[in-house]
Structure formats: structure tokens, C-alpha cells
Structure 1
Amino acid sequence: MSRALHLTEQLISRRSVTPEDGGCQRILAERLAPLGFACETIVSGPQDFRVTNLWAKRQGRSEKTVVFAGHTDVVPTGPLEQWSSDPFTPSHREGKLYGRGAADMKTSIAAFTVAVEEFLQAHPDPALSVALLITSDEEGPSVDGTVVVCQELQRRSERLDWCIVGEPSSVERLGDMIKNGRRGTLSGKLTVKGIQGHIAYPQLARNPIHQALPALAELTATEWDRGNEFFPPTSFQISNMHGGTGAGNVIPGSVAIDFNFRFASVSNAQDLKRRVHEVLDRHGLEYELDWVLGGEPFLTTPGDLVDAVRDAIRAETGVETRLSTTGGTSDGRFISKICPQVVEFGPVNATIHKIDEHVRVAEIEPLKNIYRRTLELLDAKA
């Protein structure tokens, strides 16, 4: 059994449902410390929701630093009876390794940990500084995990040059896609106020649903931007609408609408907020609007990091990878604030968060090799 596969199985066997780490980071630290890594545990969050973060760094001869980032926490299993095997007992069937977190993202963590071991064995005195940033709060609220570590690193003026997040980025086969950015996410909870009344006497009431609909139609038809080479146009989507008392003869006194922007790097949250308020005000609505900024967009254009990962994929698999910014948010949005080049690369994402989550065993060793080759290419630039 390869070391990467063995470590993947060790990590899967740890019940680390968010925000629990389940001892995964201790396993990693015990492997990294003998290699010269300074391993630091950063604990954050309230007593009933403690988050464990690992920051491990080995200083090289230069100041150039590459970071591997990942999360040991996993989403809940869902109905256990629907799983073909215990989600926390690594199981092999038809060339696939099953278990919660197999794809998202314990295989990546195992692969880049072993890649670091092999790199340092072959290059015991590299120019490159190597670090790992591991959290147990990526699948949860994401307020006490990577963001807290990044704030601490920024306070220390820690230099980060390149970061590879081990998110499962591949689509059909290993290496066919890497994420070189992500869209921002901005959510709004809009409450439009009216006057409740009997449905037979509309002149004595004010229907907030009727009032809101023209404004909502304008918002849904608005072109917010045209995107760019890497991002599709910004999307505005209504996810929920609730109004009414449950009675068929009552005009409601208010209606609540939940909506979300997934926005490109050519837009910003403040401008989107301003434009929404302009529409609502122009339609004369009485309303309240609460905003939640889930993350700003980030983008890494082709350069040292993108080229290194692409070249490593090509050398190991022969695959010509595509760049993409699709999908939801990741911890890359926090790391990009202190690191100029961030990409996401990992195994096939077809089963993440699903029943019977799995990865192809045959792709674990190549994944490890791609990470190791990337280290070698970046070391040459350090």
C-alpha cells in the first residue's frame, strides 16, 4: 500500500464532522515535526464550537513560501442506512476508496503531506519554504478557521507567495480542471412592508407582494456586469419568498425575500448594494434590507503558480488542464487576502457531500506526484 493511500485511510477513519478535527491534525503534525516543521495549533471559537487549526512551516534558504491548505472537517454523513459501508471505515470496492471526506478533502491532505515528505527527502536543503494551513472549520460557519489563521499570519507579517488549496477541482479525470479563482457571494434578506387587511377591502390595505414584484422583476432583469475572461457575468438569484398569514382572505402585512449575488471580480459588494437600494427606492418601497458578505471574489491569472501546477499535471498525467472559477466559495477567499497567487487543485469532485463519497484509488498516487512535481518547479523559482 502506498504511503499516500495509507494516510488517506487513517484520516477517513477519524470522525471529524465539522467543527471536529478528530485528531487528524495531530497525525499530520507528528509526521511533519521530524522533517523540521514548526507546528502550531491555533484554537478558536466558543466553548461549544471549538475549532482546531494547524499552522506548520519549514523555513527554506529563501523567503519564498508555498502553502498547502486544506480542511480536516467533513459534512455530516446523512442517513447511515443509505451508505453501502460505514462512512468512517475506509472501504475498497471496484477500484474506489469509500468514506466521508474521501474526495472532500482528506485524499488531498494525505497526498500533499506525503508529497512534502518525498520532496524533502530528495531535496533536504531546498530554497523553498513550505507550509501547511489546515482547519476544521471549512464545512461550518468558516469564522474560526482559515480566516483566523490568516489574520494571525498577517499580524506577524508572514510572507506567503503561492498557495494550493486541495479542494476537489477535477471534473471527469484527475487534472482536467484547476480553479484559479472563485466568485464572490453577497446575500440579502429583504423585508417589504405593507398594511395587512381583508382581501375583499384592498383599498384599506397595502399589499407588499404586489408592491415588491415590479422591483424584483427589474432586479432579475438587470445586467450587473459582463464578466471577463475568467468569470461569467454576475448572477442575481432569488432563493426564497415568504408572505401571508396562511389564510386565503388576508392581505399580508409584509413579505420577506432572500436573494444572492455570485459576483465577478469586475464588480464589488458596495456597488451591488448601492444599485439594489436605488431600484428599491425608485419603486417607492417601505423596506428593510440586511446584507451578509460571504466572501469577495479572487483571481489568480496565469503565472508562476498556475504554470507550475499545469506543467506538473501534464508531466504526470498527460492532461491539458482547464482554468475555471465555477462553483461555490472556498477558503481561498481568505488566503487570497494575504497571498498573491492561490489555486485549487484536487481529485474528482463528483461525489463530494454525497452518500458513498469516494475517490479512485488509481488517482491517489498521481495526485501526490503532481503536488511533489509542483514543489520541485516552484523550488527552482525560489
Structure 2
Amino acid sequence: MTQVLDYAKRLMAEGSDEEPVENLFAIRRGPAGSRHFAFAGHVDVVPPGEGWASDAFAPEIRGDLLYGRGAVDMKGAVACMAAAVAEIPTEAGTLSFIITGDEEGPAINGTRKLIDFMRENGHQPDVCLVGEPTSVKRLGDMMKIGRRGSVNIWLEVDGTQGHVAYPHLADNPIPRLVAILAELDALVLDEGTDWFQPSNLEITEIAIPNRAHNVIPASAKARISIRFNDRHSGASLSEKVGEIAEKHGGRAVPVISGEPFLTPPGTFSAIIAAAVKAETGLNPEPSTTGGTSDARFLRAVCPVIEFGLCNATMHKTDEAVAVADLEVLSKIYARIARAALAQE
């Protein structure tokens, strides 16, 4: 790493309610006034679960595959980024790594804190590539030019506890919660856009704190999750849900985890497509499907697109990546960085 970079900052981000997070910002400066290309990724992983054929945290090659938690999502891509940078001469321009240890978790003290650091020190890149595993069937068949936003909302309805034989002495909150959920479930948020699928609202949890069959509960809760396109914002959807909840005597408590973003097809996506075509022969499909990533934060700094390994085994038991794909991805990343730095 010391042969690749001339500056690296290990950042310990601390929050009042969260565990400290280790982040890394590293930069190799090019000539004065040159363009700045950034690779972004994360090295934290989800828990491995049970049933692995080998130690999830002891990488092992069996046949043509490298097994281990994070091989796909996304330590493999981070390794490919480092290999790519080693192939690019310093005079080509400025290169940097934006690497966090807080992407799979709360995502509070990770990339957001790195962005603050970059802004404070004048390290904003011109474009950024996030190494999320975007490929589906073959390496190179898809890139993400945007993502939908995400908001989770708790619905709460209070009542008065009582005996089921004396309902006039109680106030059952469940019918009101059911009415809220029925109205929300019937909503058609939109029909989609040119680049985004229709927004969807899903009921994900219903919680009634009642262990006795003959007791009317004092409260009832539910949770909904909305994935939304760029026709909405987290605030506008939270307000809509809140109005429906209030109409039926309930309240809504939203948590917005990300807004939608789109990097419209153009020069950057064309650079990525050309690099993929040169190494794989494929034309990557520009897509906005799937879940959220830290690109939702980086979009506020510069144009950002995601491209990486095949995602079939991410978050699964025996997560694995083809060794050959790692070799090809490092070459693709090098091509992308060279072309992005050469852009005028």
C-alpha cells in the first residue's frame, strides 16, 4: 500500500450512541490541477451465520472459487481497486480510496464522516466508483446508475387495556391499526419513471404486546418499509403516512435511511461501459434496482456509479467469488480510472 499511496488517514469516527468506526481515506496526488478519481467501498460484513463448509473468516480457494465472508460484498472489490491503482502512473491524475467499516450497520459514522473529512480538507473527487456487487449472472452485465430511497416507519396506536368481556370499559387499538394498514396497503405511490421501477410500500411487522387471549391490549404497533423513486422524498412520504395514521387515531415515527439518486447516462457511464466491453465483451445494463448503498451519501459530492462482482452469493452461507473474476475486475477498474482521469 505504501508503494501506491502518498497519503493515508485512518479515521476513527465516534458517535454519541454508536460504537466507534474505523474508516480510511487514502490519496495519491497527481499533477497540480489534474482530475481526481475516487474508489469507494466498505470492509465490514454481515454475520456469517451457520453451515459454512470452511471458516467464514479464513479465506480458502476451492476449485475456481475463493470462499469467505466478504469475498463478494465487498472485500474482493476493494482488493481489485488497490490492484488497479498500482497499474496507473502518478502523472495520470489524483486517485483516492474512500473505505468505511460502517456500511452494513447503521451507516452513521462511516462514509458520512469520511465525506465531512474530505470537504474539510479539499479532497472532493470529480467522479466516484463504488464497488458494490452489481453484476447478476456474469461479471459485467449490470451497473447501477442510481438507487431508490428508503424509509422505515413505525405506526403506533394507543388504547385502553381491558377484559374482552367488558369492551365498553376498554379501547381496542387494533381495529384502528388495521384501518391504517389497509389504507396504506391500497396506496399506489406512482407508476415508475424512465429509470426507476414503481415505488413500493410493504408491511413488514405487526406487534401486539398481548400474551393473554382474554385481554384487550393497551397498544398496537406496526412497521412499514417504503422503497421510493425520485418522484418522492423521504420527508414527503413520511408526511403522507403521518396524515393517514393521524386520521385513524395513530401516529407515525419515520426513519429515513436514504434518498433516491440518479447519475443520468452520460460520459461516466460510457467510460464504465467501454471498460467492461473491452475486458468481458459485455454491454452492462444501466439499472437502479436493488437496495441502498453508500452511493446515496457520495452523490452529494460528485457523480457516482456502482459496479462490481456478481452478487449471487452475497450475504449467503459459503459466499464465494470466481478467482478469474477478481483478475478481470481489477483490469476493468484500471481502465475506468485511466479514462476518467483523462476526461477533459
CA distance in 1, matches of 2:183, 2:19: 41
Mark the CA change 1:278 to 1:288 in structure 2 (over 3 Å): closer, same or farther: closer
Report how many aligned residue pairs link the two structures: 342
Matching of residue 298 in structure 1 with residue 261 in structure 2: yes
State the shift of 1:35 in Å. 3.4
Structure 2: runs of 5+ lacking an equivalent: none
Matching of residue 336 in structure 1 with residue 299 in structure 2: yes
2:231 aligns with one of 258, 266, 269: 266
Structure 1: runs of 5+ lacking an equivalent: 1-30
Structure 1 vs Structure 2: percent identity of aligned residues?
42
Matching of residue 213 in structure 1 with residue 178 in structure 2: yes
CA distance in 2, matches of 1:98, 1:113: 20
Matching of residue 366 in structure 1 with residue 335 in structure 2: no
Counterpart for residue 53 of structure 1: 23
Counterpart for residue 113 of structure 2: 148
Q: Deviations over 1:293-318 (max 9, x none)?
A: 11111111111211111110011101
Give yes or no for contact 1:209–1:255 (8 Å, CA) kept in 2. yes
Give yes or no for contact 1:346–1:367 (8 Å, CA) kept in 2. yes
CA distance in 1, matches of 2:165, 2:7: 73
Task: Give SS of 1:239's match.
Answer: strand
1:89 aligns with one of 41, 52, 58: 58
Task: Give SS of 2:40's match.
Answer: strand
Counterpart for residue 125 of structure 1: 91
Q: Deviations over 1:279-330 (max 9, x none)?
A: 22333x1x33222111111111111211111110011101111112222211
Counterpart for residue 39 of structure 2: 68
Q: Deviations over 1:93-112 (max 9, x none)?
A: 22111111111111111111
Matching of residue 233 in structure 1 with residue 198 in structure 2: yes
Give yes or no for contact 1:111–1:364 (8 Å, CA) kept in 2. yes
- Counterpart of 1:315, as a letter, is A
Task: Give SS of 1:374's match.
Answer: helix
Give yes or no for contact 2:143–2:305 (8 Å, CA) kept in 1. yes
State the shift of 1:157 in Å. 4.1
Once superposed, what is the RMSD of the aligned Cα atoms?
Answer: 1.7
- Counterpart of 2:202, as a letter, is Q
CA distance in 1, matches of 2:63, 2:176: 58
State the shift of 1:59 in Å. 2.2
Give yes or no for contact 2:234–2:258 (8 Å, CA) kept in 1. no
State the shift of 1:335 in Å. 0.9
Matching of residue 379 in structure 1 with residue 344 in structure 2: no
Counterpart for residue 139 of structure 1: 104
Mark the CA change 1:244 to 1:146 in structure 2 (over 3 Å): closer, same or farther: closer
CA distance in 2, matches of 1:63, 1:330: 28
CA distance in 1, matches of 2:45, 2:217: 41
Counterpart for residue 18 of structure 1: none
Counterpart for residue 315 of structure 1: 278
Task: Give SS of 2:202's match.
Answer: strand
Task: Give SS of 1:100's match.
Answer: coil
State the shift of 1:228 in Å. 0.9
- Counterpart of 1:309, as a letter, is I
Per residue, is there more helix in 1 or in 2? 1
Counterpart for residue 326 of structure 1: 289
State the shift of 1:34 in Å. 2.8
Task: Give SS of 1:238's match.
Answer: strand
Mark the CA change 1:278 to 1:290 in structure 2 (over 3 Å): closer, same or farther: closer
CA distance in 2, matches of 1:73, 1:104: 9
CA distance in 2, matches of 1:267, 1:85: 45
Give yes or no for contact 1:227–1:234 (8 Å, CA) kept in 2. yes
Give yes or no for contact 2:134–2:310 (8 Å, CA) kept in 1. yes
- Counterpart of 1:232, as a letter, is Q
Q: Deviations over 1:89-136 (max 9, x none)?
A: 22122211111111111111111111111122xxx411x321111111
Q: Deviations over 1:142-165 (max 9, x none)?
A: 111111011222233433221111
- Counterpart of 2:139, as a letter, is L
Mark the CA change 1:297 to 1:381 in structure 2 (over 3 Å): closer, same or farther: same
- Counterpart of 2:136, as a letter, is V
- Counterpart of 1:276, as a letter, is V
CA distance in 2, matches of 1:312, 1:102: 22
CA distance in 1, matches of 2:72, 2:313: 7
Mark the CA change 1:227 to 1:197 in structure 2 (over 3 Å): closer, same or farther: same
State the shift of 1:371 in Å. 0.5
CA distance in 2, matches of 1:211, 1:106: 47
State the shift of 1:174 in Å. 0.1
CA distance in 2, matches of 1:131, 1:106: 17
CA distance in 2, matches of 1:41, 1:193: 47
- Counterpart of 1:64, as a letter, is R
Give yes or no for contact 2:189–2:199 (8 Å, CA) kept in 1. yes
CA distance in 1, matches of 2:256, 2:318: 33
Counterpart for residue 9 of structure 2: 40
